[in-house]
């Protein structure tokens, strides 16, 4: 007989403890022990507790391979249903044999109801590194169980595939919000809804009476950035700056040749360019930039309060003044088809004509951002990455451890974008080079994003270097290749033109790929999500819908027509409420680089994690130092604000 010491750690979250009975079976190379109860006098497994138990093995099972955990409700629990369903969050087990060093078995899972769970000793291993048949079998069984639990479905034709569940309440407990996060989210949404309801704004279907009346809602949970937006939203420099550091900083690109369907002339822009230069000269110097919302052409629009809404597909030409001056708009065309009914609006036009043209561009930014930059790139694709990880990588794998248009219009826009989506657009350094915006001043999304990308890339490179000694070791990891292949087929719909790899051949390719996944699910999401409320709290800066069609001539806009073009009162409030909720992390935060679930137990990856955290801390200090000198600080890529993954 051999005596083992078993140490058990229970999570600290609300409801993490359990009244259920827990036992373990120790699996070795020579057999498996019977169930060994973990029992003390009184209640075990309280939240936050670490407890020791002594268990006796009746016979030797050989070197330890696995730990089988059994959870059963106590006797008579059939009379008390909550006890029978009592969930338990186990952090880890530590098994100390009579002789030798202890084994750590990371768990970090909820166990709900009666059942068993098989845990491996915590050393990370790729598929080709497992040699014992029992360990190989365990990997296969874990993945088979997960593939049955997490299945794909096509939500809409042409969209990335997603998890086949009907509602959030049907999700497995291990991928739901924590109880604290869930409660905080609904409390926040409830209080905000009541506030709007009391003000009588949610039931008003008509237009706003004036810009002054809109100030009533502007007092709703306003932020310093929202106040800055309110004060500067009509200014050309602020309008242009939002293409760099607003909620959609991914569309602006350098323009060396004007599109044929955007016939801007020297006479139109001479007042902004000044004497001694021309459009062609500025194009050759690289000081002109283009934002093209052409993908919105002829998109289906929504119906709000019984009224059809309208959209535009504008093109905006911008000018970077020499000497580091502000980026300024030169010209705006509200359609992709030039002609008498599609004038080119200019800063020299009547005030309300120019303001209305800029507001149509901001509405296009809202539609493009919410459907593509936010929903597609920052939610639908991360869901593909996550679901493929759950289905193809077991817990012991090192990558698992580090890891106004209406619905119809949104769906159509996503289908169009999926046909154009390419790998380089998801890799920030390449995206910056492709758009030609490496040196435009004041582009803090680029500056901070490249710092974060570099830190993630170095971290990933160190982890990959630990577990993959050669390119051949990447090619031979069947689980890794299945993961990449499933992302290609389910997320990018087998489109070879996307440039997304369907397999990986080298360590360098693996580093790039994993960096892209981590950056997309963390920093990119923060950059395009955290500022939504800041941009929309003053609705004219980012109108979610437009009730009148785009102007087809100049000198027609008035203060009244401007107000009547903006969304109605109730639609404004609905969107502001939603974006306020989506911009705020609902508690229980896990910033980038923070890993409370300690899946890695080896010293080398732990050192890499510590180094990664130090790099992020230095980036944060640099960002905060720079922001002290800015009238509008750019905070959305400050590492403490970035969540480890998409969490809202």
Percent of the chain having pLDDT more than 70?
A: 91
CA distance 636 to 525: 9
Asked if residue 17 belongs to a known ligand binding site, the reply is yes
Of the ranges 76-80, 589-593, 598-602, which one carries the lowest mean pLDDT score? 76-80
Q: Is 648 annotated as a binding residue?
A: yes
pLDDT of residue 501: 96
Q: What does the pLDDT read at residue 84?
A: 52
Q: What does 217-239 look like in DSSP terms, one character per residue?
A: HHTSS--HHHHHHHHHTT-HHHH
574 or 293: which leads in pLDDT: 293
Write the Ramachandran bin of 510: left for phi over 0, alpha for psi from -120 to 50, otherwise beta.
alpha
Burial (CB count <10 Å: 0-12, 13-18, 19+), residue 49? middle
Band (pLDDT 50/70/90 cuts) for residue 179 is low
Give the fold, CATH level 3, of 2-71+86-122: Lipoxygenase-1 (2.60.60)
476 assigned to a ligand binding site: no
Q: Which residue in 250, 279, 549, 274 sits closest to 417, CA to CA? A: 250
Average pLDDT of the chain to the nearest whole number:
89
pLDDT at 586 over 80: no
Least trusted range by pLDDT, from 97-106, 171-180, 375-384: 171-180
In this model, does residue 78 exceed pLDDT 60?
no
Q: 477 a known binding residue?
A: no
pLDDT band at residue 642 under the 50/70/90 scheme: very high
pLDDT at 255 over 80: yes
Give the three-state DSSP class for 392: helix
Q: Which residues are CB-contacts of 282 (< 8 A; sequence separation ≥ 6)?
A: 273, 288, 319
- Range from 111-125, 172-186, 408-422, 458-472 that averages highest in pLDDT: 458-472
Identify which has the larger pLDDT, 594 or 314: 314
Assess contact for 568 and 585: CB atoms under 8 A.
Answer: no
Which 8-state DSSP code applies to residue 643?
B
Q: How far apart, in whole angstroms, are the C-alpha atoms of residue 196 and residue 210? A: 19
Dump pLDDT digits (tens) for 436-487: 999 999 999 999 999 999 999 999 999 999 999 999 999 999 999 999 999 9
Phi, psi of 45 (to 5 degrees): 60, 50
Residue in this structure with the two tokens 């120019």, named with its chain if needed? 354
Q: Is 131 known to sit in a ligand binding site?
A: no
pLDDT given for residue 601 in this prediction: 86
Q: In angstroms, rounded to a whole number, what is the distance separating the alpha carbons of residues 547 and 565? A: 5
The verdict on whether residue 256 carries a ligand-binding annotation is no
Candidates 533, 644, 558, 629; CA nearest to 597 is 644
Q: What's the pLDDT band for 402 if we cut at 50, 70, 90?
A: low
Q: Is 629 annotated as a binding residue?
A: no
pLDDT surpassing 70 at residue 182: no
Reduced to 3 states (helix: H, G, I; strand: E, B; else coil), residue 603 is helix
pLDDT at 41 (0 to 100): 74
Per-residue pLDDT, 380: 87
Can you read off the two tokens belonging to residue 230? 């309110």
Which has the minimum average pLDDT: 305-309, 457-461, 575-579? Answer: 575-579
**Identity of the highest mean pLDDT range in 161-165, 178-182, 490-494:** 490-494
The pLDDT tens digits of the residues spanning 211-225 come to 888 887 766 667 899
Crossing angle for the helix pair 444-467 and 603-627, to the nearest 10 degrees = 170
Residue 184 has pLDDT above 90, yes or no: no
What is the predicted pLDDT for the residue at 411? 80
- Per DSSP, 74 falls in state P
pLDDT value, residue 459: 96
Rounded to two decimals, what is the model's pTM?
Answer: 0.91
* Residue 403 pLDDT grade (very low, low, confident, very high; cuts 50, 70, 90): very low
Question: Residue 196: which pLDDT band, with cuts at 50, 70 and 90?
Answer: low
pLDDT of residue 187: 65
Known binder of ligand: residue 306? Answer: no
| Domain definitions of the chain by residue range | 2-71+86-122
Q: What percent of the chain lies above the pLDDT cut of 90?
A: 64
pLDDT of residue 574: 83
Q: Where residue 597 falls among pLDDT bands split at 50, 70, 90? A: confident
**What integer is the mean pLDDT of 540-567?**
94
pLDDT reading at 577 higher than 90? no
Q: What is the pLDDT of residue 406?
A: 65
- pLDDT attached to residue 195: 64
In terms of Cβ atoms closer than 10 Å to its own Cβ (0-12, 13-18, 19+), residue 118 is middle
Say if residue 580's pLDDT is above 80.
no
Helices and strands in the chain: count of H runs, count of E runs:
23, 18
The answer to whether 395 is annotated as binding is: no
pLDDT digits (tens, 9 = 90+) for 338-357: 999 999 999 999 999 999 99
6, β-bridge pairs: 53, 95
């Amino acid at each position: 007989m051999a005596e083992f010491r078993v140490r058990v750690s229970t999570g600290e979250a609300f409801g993490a403890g359990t009244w259920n009975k827990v036992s373990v079976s120790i699996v070795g190379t020579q057999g498996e022990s019977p169930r060994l109860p973990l029992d003390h006098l009184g209640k075990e497994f309280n939240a936050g507790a670490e407890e020791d138990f002594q268990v006796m093995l009746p016979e030797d099972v050989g070197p330890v391979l696995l730990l089988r955990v059994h959870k059963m409700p106590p006797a008579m629990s059939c009379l008390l249903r909550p006890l029978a369903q009592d969930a338990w969050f186990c952090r880890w087990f530590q098994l100390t044999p009579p002789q030798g060093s202890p084994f750590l078995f990371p768990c970090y899972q909820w166990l709900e109801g009666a059942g068993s769970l098989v845990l491996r000793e915590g050393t990370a291993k790729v598929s080709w590194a497992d040699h014992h048949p029992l360990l190989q079998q365990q990997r296969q069984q874990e993945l088979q169980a997960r593939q049955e639990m997490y299945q794909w479905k096509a939500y809409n034709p042409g969209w990335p595939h997603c998890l086949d569940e009907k509602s959030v309440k049907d999700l497995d407990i291990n991928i739901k919000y924590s109880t604290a996060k869930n409660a905080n989210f609904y409390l926040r949404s409830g209080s905000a809804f009541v506030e709007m309801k009391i003000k009588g704004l949610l039931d008003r279907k008509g237009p706003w009476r004036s810009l002054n009346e809109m100030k009533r809602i502007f007092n709703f949970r306003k932020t310093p950035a929202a106040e800055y937006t309110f004060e500067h939203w009509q200014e050309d420099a602020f309008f242009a700056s939002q293409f760099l550091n607003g909620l959609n900083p991914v569309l602006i690109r350098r323009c060396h040749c004007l599109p044929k369907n955007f016939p801007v002339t020297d006479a139109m822009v001479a007042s902004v360019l000044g004497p001694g230069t021309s459009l062609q000269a500025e194009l050759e110097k690289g000081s002109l930039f283009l934002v093209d919302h052409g993908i919105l052409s002829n998109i289906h629009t929504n119906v709000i309060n019984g009224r059809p809404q309208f959209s535009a597909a504008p093109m905006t030409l911008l000018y970077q003044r020499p000497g580091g001056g502000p980026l300024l708009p030169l010209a705006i065309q509200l359609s992709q088809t030039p002609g008498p009914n599609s004038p080119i609006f200019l800063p020299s036009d009547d005030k309300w004509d120019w303001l209305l043209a800029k507001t149509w561009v901001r509405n296009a930014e809202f539609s493009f951002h919410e459907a593509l930059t936010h929903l597609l790139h920052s939610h639908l694709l991360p869901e593909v990455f996550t679901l493929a990880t759950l289905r193809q990588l077991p817990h012991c794998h090192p990558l698992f451890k580090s890891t106004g248009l209406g619905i119809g219009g949104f769906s159509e826009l996503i289908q169009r974008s999926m046909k154009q989506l390419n790998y380089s657009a998801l890799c920030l350094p390449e995206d910056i080079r492709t758009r030609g915006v490496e040196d435009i001043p004041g582009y803090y999304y680029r500056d901070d994003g490249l710092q974060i990308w570099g830190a993630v890339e170095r971290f990933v490179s160190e982890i990959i270097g630990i577990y993959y000694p050669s390119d051949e070791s990447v090619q031979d990891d069947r689980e890794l290749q299945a993961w990449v292949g499933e992302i290609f087929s389910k997320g990018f719909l087998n489109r070879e033109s996307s440039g997304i790899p369907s397999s990986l051949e080298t360590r360098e390719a693996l580093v790039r790929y994993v960096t892209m996944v981590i950056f997309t699910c963390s920093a990119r999401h923060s950059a395009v999500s955290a500022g939504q409320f800041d941009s929309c709290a003053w609705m004219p800066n980012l109108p979610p819908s437009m009730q009148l069609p785009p102007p087809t001539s100049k000198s027609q806009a008035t203060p009244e027509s401007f107000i009547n073009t903006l969304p109605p009162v109730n639609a404004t409030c609905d969107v502001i409420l939603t974006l306020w909720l989506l911009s705020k992390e609902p508690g229980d935060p896990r910033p980038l680089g923070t890993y409370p679930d300690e899946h890695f137990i080896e010293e080398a990856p732990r050192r890499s994690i510590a180094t990664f955290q130090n790099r992020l801390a230095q980036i944060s200090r640099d960002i905060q130092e720079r922001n002290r000198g800015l009238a509008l600080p750019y905070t959305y890529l400050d590492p403490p604000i970035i969540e480890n993954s998409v969490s809202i």
